[in-house]
Amino acid sequence: MKAVVYHGPGAKSWESVPDPTIEDDTDAIVRVDAVTICGTDLHILKGDVPAVTDGRVLGHEAVGTVEAVGAGVKNVEPGSRVLVSCISACARCRFCRQGRYGACVGGGGWILGHLIDGTQAEYLRVPFADTSTYPVPEGVSDEAILMLADIGPTGYEVGVLNGRVSPGETVAVVGAGPIGLSVMLTAQLYSPGRIIAIDLADARLEAAKRFGATDVINNGREDAVARVMELTDGLGADVAMEAVGVPATFELCTKLVRTGGRVANLGVHGAPATLALEELWIKDVTITTGLVDAYSTADLLRLIVAGRLDVGPFITHRFALGQFMDAYDVFANAGETGALKVVLARDGSSG
Ligand SMILES: [Zn+2]
Ligand SMILES: [Zn+2]
């Protein structure tokens, strides 16, 4: 089969590799029908994730059709359409028993396209298939469900639920890339009074308006702290979400939050950030961090089926599987291409 193979920082190719096979009796082999690229894949390609080694098939998001299952798999069978989550769950370890699947110590967690071969391929092996996949309901498109492999639950769990967004509140989201937009979209499930999007790119702020932002601030031109204070009677945001992953944006969030408010960090950080305790100690703030656990995936799936969550606007570009190198170029140059999520489909249409 063909797959996107990592060959060290800056090097990848769409090339022939051996077909995956069942290795454990809880495995499934899934034919990939629709797949996407994550910002995390770009971090890997920069060399930021040293656990990913030469020869690894990239990708941790897919929708596909089960081809074969091990003897121990009970919930899916050949022919089933499934969502393959970015998080695999052994379902037995201490953390899985608490619903903290992202922290799985029984062989799961974020392993696809990281510690084992991933989804950017014609076929993949899915470990713990019963507890790491979700059946796709009839009548829902592959590309819509694909948005729940990672960005949907990440924005909702690590942003909205960790940040405890409540009705009427002001939510400030720093970073209007796919994850920040996912926060804005799913925050609306809790009816905030205001959603303030903050970013350096006007194109992303335009996208933010389509995802529910009521106010946008370009912090390259405007003082984001002053503007947020103006919008909140001088108090600050009830909750500030960090969706970039650099020190400056985390530090900005701690300045935007009101006394008694929450800062929810979603960004993947590669450098230390300053925690200004000399200012924060008296402010009663709560700061949360986390990797997605994907415990909310089935809830979000029901919202899509019910027509109450529209993930369609995430998808800006569509390709056939064989066009992976072009898709990477478009996604990596989001500033010029306006790419949010690119979808690659087996039949080239991703419907
Ligand atoms: Zn991802
Ligand atoms: Zn586990």
Please state, in angstroms and rounded to a whole number, the distance separating the CA atoms of residues 327 and 334: 11
Inter-CA distances, 77 with 26, 140, 267, Å: 12, 19, 36
Q: Which ligand is nearest to the CA of 112?
A: 1
- Give distance in angstroms: CA of 222 to centre of ligand 2: 45
Across the chain, what does the average pLDDT equal? 96
Residue 348, pLDDT > 80, answer no
- Give distance in angstroms: CA of 94 to centre of ligand 2: 7
Rounded to an integer, the average pLDDT of 169-177 is: 97
Residue 350, pLDDT > 50, answer no
pLDDT tens for 221-272 read: 999 999 999 999 999 999 999 999 999 999 999 999 999 999 999 998 888 9
Q: Which ligand is nearest to the CA of 91?
A: 2
Terminal C-alpha separation, the chain: 23
- Give distance in angstroms: CA of 280 to centre of ligand 1: 31
Residue 176, pLDDT > 90, answer yes
> How does strand 28-36 pair with strand 123-126?
antiparallel
Cα angle for residues 102, 103, 107 (degrees, 5° grid) = 95
* Contact residues for 308 (Cβ-Cβ < 8 A; gap 6+): none
- Give distance in angstroms: CA of 202 to centre of ligand 1: 24
pLDDT tens for 14-37 read: 999 999 999 999 999 999 999 999
Please state, in angstroms and rounded to a whole number, the distance separating the CA atoms of residues 154 and 346: 26
pLDDT at 349: 58
Residue 303, pLDDT > 50, answer yes
8 Å CB contact between 258 and 232: yes
8 Å CB contact between 4 and 14: yes
